[in-house]
Structure 1
Amino acid sequence: MKLEKSIIGMVHVQALPGTPNNKHSIEEICEIAVQEAKTYEEAGLDAIMIENMHDVPYLKGAVGPEITASMAVVARAIREVVNLPLGIQILAGANKEALAVAKAANFQFIRAEGFVFGHVADEGYIDSCAGELLRYRKVIGAEDVKIFTDIKKKHSSHALTADVDIDETAKAAEFFLSDGLIVTGASTGKAVYLHELKSLKDKVQIPVLIGSGITAENLEEYWNYASGFIVGSHFKENGFWKNPISKDRLKVFMEKVKQLKK
């Protein structure tokens, strides 16, 4: 998967069986997810990522077999109808499970939390996982699956590593063989600090992606400093992640992308 100003659309999979907000059967969950993925493909996006964001409150560092199985079923349903590169994240920090699903469903990448250093998230302390995760990728023969890694992740406290700035964190992730870095704002939908993004551009040789806060209005400001843009909330009605995709918002955004690519 090449990252050349790629727009990656988020499919927020409906709450899965066994989670507090579950209201749909797995067949209904697949149907909704597939329709959203097809909408993104038809709009001309470059890639799609799925995530179990409705599964609040999240477990820490691992999920039950019912979640892994359900995400695999959803992933495979999307893979059968969409030809774009696909990625997956399983919250919170269930990176090995995400990698297993990606391998089984022929996905091209995962988004991993806690790759280097540790941080305190909503769910509690998330430890680093690079060594274990890359060895697991080797064991299951999934070396063709890229691992894009959050650094100084949103919804988290980084007081434990306050003496390690984002540049040093990025270089550590690169040294530990990350395939690409993801930078975010303070929370979902919040913009990345532009000065941090500009600083990273010349510090690492691997791709840098923006993982939150991108809109049609600010895309141009960030365009020259990232290889990819993960967009979720902005594509939804009223810009709220729980809502259905707004085709009007999607159209305006992609028209802006076309202008910038010229």
Structure 2
Amino acid sequence: MTTWLDDVFAAPKPIIAMLHLSALPGDPGYDSAAGISAIVDRAKAELDALQTGGVDGVMISNEFSLPYLTQTEPITAISMARVITELLPEISVPYGVNVLWDGRASIDLAVATGAQWVREIFTGVYASDFGLWNTNIGEVARHRHRIGADGVKLLFNIVPESAAYLAERSLASITASTVFATLPDGICVSGLTAGAPTDTQSLKIVKDAAGSVPVFVNTGVKAHNAADQLAIADGAVVGTYFKEDGVFENRASVDRVRELVGAVRDFRKTL
């Protein structure tokens, strides 16, 4: 079955690498002495490692903007736009963006930088580490249309990290109603935190209920489990595994990228 993934990516079951930006202006961890140039330098080095290692796409996010906001301050997306603009001449694969945890700001950033997709929490109400977390997909969808972003694909994370859905509903029910009522372009299934394994059973439940909508495994993909995860999912988003020693805070390692990408390419030969 052909999906938009076939139009965007050069290979089936694409591997999208996370490019985690350092803490930005306004974030508690921002290094004001080093400034934006240090963020750009690190991002360029990690982008080179990811692309040299053979990933199919990259997704640029403010992963180190801890603790996260569910409605970000304008300086966050503005700073990300500055960094991404400096990266653009060196990006050679399809790319998306994610302003954590703000769907509307993510779409705005995509329009400003030419990104082809965004990933965010667009539906549901959650009890989270960041407080009570509400969404409004109807408003976001209309905003997307108003600013001419209909071509920007929306990846919905329906099992968000560090949060629990407040309604007593099954994962299959949530997936089916999300697909029917909110029109996602893709669905992401996550573990508890960045790098945490995604439960294979949960992944299969979502895939079975999602119909023709592509499903991504969003956390915890490693070289040894990539084949099992991609036997179910239509693609994978990978961040922590690509870091040196598999440590979230570290920089991307080209050797670890090549290891996982090699396992995925071996799996593709069986398709």
Normalising TM by the smaller chain, what interval?
Answer: over 0.9
Query: Which of the residues 4, 8, 23 maps onto 2:16?
Result: 8
Q: How many angstroms apart in 1 are the aligned matches of 2:127 and 2:117?
A: 25
Name the counterpart of 2:109: 101
Name the counterpart of 1:192: 198
Unaligned runs of 5+ in 1: none
Q: Percent identity?
A: 30
Name the counterpart of 1:253: 260
Query: Which of the residues 31, 36, 50 maps onto 1:40?
Result: 50
Secondary structure of residue in 2 paired with 1:9: strand
Alpha carbons 1:75, 1:101 under 8 Å: kept: no
State the TM-score, normalizing by the size of structure 1: 0.94
Q: How many angstroms apart in 2 are the aligned matches of 1:222 and 1:257?
A: 10
The correspondence of residues 162-173 of structure 1 with structure 2, limited to 5 A, is: 163-173=168-178
Alpha carbons 1:182, 1:209 under 8 Å: kept: yes
Name the counterpart of 1:76: 85
Structure 1 segments of 4 or more deviating over 6 A? none
Name the counterpart of 1:201: 207
Q: How many angstroms apart in 2 are the aligned matches of 1:67 and 1:248?
A: 31
Structure 1 residue 119 corresponds to structure 2 residue 126 = yes
For the aligned residues, what is the CA RMSD?
1.3
Matched residue pairs, number?
A: 257
What residue identity is the alignment partner of 1:44? G
Alpha carbons 1:146, 1:179 under 8 Å: kept: yes
What residue identity is the alignment partner of 1:203? A
Q: How many angstroms apart in 2 are the aligned matches of 1:144 and 1:177?
A: 13
Unaligned runs of 5+ in 2: 7-11
Alpha carbons 2:217, 2:235 under 8 Å: kept: yes
The correspondence of residues 136-151 of structure 1 with structure 2, limited to 5 A, is: 136-151=143-158
Q: How many angstroms apart in 2 are the aligned matches of 1:96 and 1:116?
A: 12
Deviation, 1:40, is 1.4
Deviation, 1:119, is 0.7
